[in-house]
Amino acid sequence: MSPIPTHRLPKRAGPPSLLMAASLLLTFSMYAQQPGSPTEVRIIGVVHPGNRYIDHRTLHRALVRNQPDLVLWEQDIDFARVFGFLTAYRLRIARTSIEQPALQRFSRGNRSIPILGFDTVIASRRDYIRDMEQIDRAIHGRLAHAGLGGQDSATYARYRALRDSLIDGDTEGTLADINAPDVIDRTRRLYRMEADSLPPLASRHVGDAPLLQAFLSDQAFWIARNEHMVGRIRRYAKQFPGKRIVILTGLFHKYYLSDRLAEGRGSALSVVEPAW
């Protein structure tokens, strides 16, 4: 707590008046009762493979610009530097998401800043992504050729239009573009439709019971995974009170994390949009 700057008070010949004493007491009380700064959370949504506007250098500059006290990345393990990794990455020997080389560069000049994992444990991320994409293609292939009619056709058309605009357009911009509030709102609406509208559609029009069950399980895991992330972020926030936490996560997770972390009155967490 900073001392009260009494050296700036006007000099008086005698002891301070009662009014001034009361004023000083009130000022001291205001200083003493100020709560500590909330833990600040800045979420940078990324396109893991990058695009023509975003690469590991772009992401590294964003990290430096936001001056984190702590970085969380979308892995279940903490970050560890790998000797020679950037050279291997430039030569395309190492193939990975843009977060790994960005953090490799960032950690080189910021060794005292922790870089911790906050995702759930996934045995093989490559297998998980492959299986998820196969289920997605199969479900939407069935729905596209199911001869939907009436309200079901209109609902699915709205969903496809929203999905296509996000995947084909909104993920192709700069970091500032893809993290814009209207883009995050569209991801929010997309996943609400996936949770509320797609399961009934698939149940009515997909006759493959194992495929339907795999799709519903995948939907449930998405929510459980996001909730796990929220829980770990909150634990880190308690561990590092009053600090600035910068989170690197897939763009489509950002809406969920932002919404859940902003919940609750008097929360010690403050969700702030990153500096671009």
Would you tell me how many other CB atoms lie within 10 Å of the CB of residue 112? Answer: 6
Q: What pLDDT sits at residue 24?
A: 37
Residue 141 has phi, psi (to 5 degrees) of: -65, -40
Which pLDDT value is given to residue 95?
73
Is residue 174 included in any domain, yes or no?
Answer: yes
Kindly state whether residue 29 falls inside one of the protein's structural domains. no
Residue 57 lies in a domain: yes
What's the number of domains the chain is made of? 1
Residue 42 contacts by C-beta under 8 Å, 6 or more apart in sequence? 66, 68, 244, 245, 246, 247, 271, 272, 273, 274, 275
Residue at 173 is within a domain: yes
Nearest to 99 by CA among 147, 49, 135, 138: 49
Domain membership of residue 216 (yes or no) is yes
The whole-angstrom separation of Cα 187 and Cα 257 is 12
**CA 165, CA 168: separation in Å to the nearest integer?**
5
Distance set, CA 108 to CA 10, 13, 77, 217, 233 (Å): 51, 59, 19, 40, 24
Domain that includes residue 263, residue range: 40-276
Domain assignment of residue 13, yes or no: no
Token pair recorded at residue 254: 């950002």
Q: What is the pLDDT along the chain (276 residues), one digit of tens a residue?
A: 333 333 333 333 344 444 343 343 333 333 333 446 889 999 999 999 999 999 999 999 999 999 999 999 999 999 987 776 666 667 667 677 899 999 999 999 999 999 999 999 998 988 999 999 999 999 999 998 898 999 999 999 999 999 998 888 888 999 999 999 999 999 999 999 999 999 999 999 998 999 999 999 999 999 999 999 999 999 999 999 999 999 999 999 999 999 999 986 556 789 999 999
| Tokens coding 250 | 């897939």
Q: Which tokens go with 227?
A: 């909730």
In a domain, 32, yes or no: no
CB 75 within 8 A of CB 117: yes
What is the tens place of the pLDDT at every residue in 110-158? 999 999 999 999 989 889 999 999 999 999 999 988 989 999 999 999 9
Residue 209, domain member (yes or no):
yes
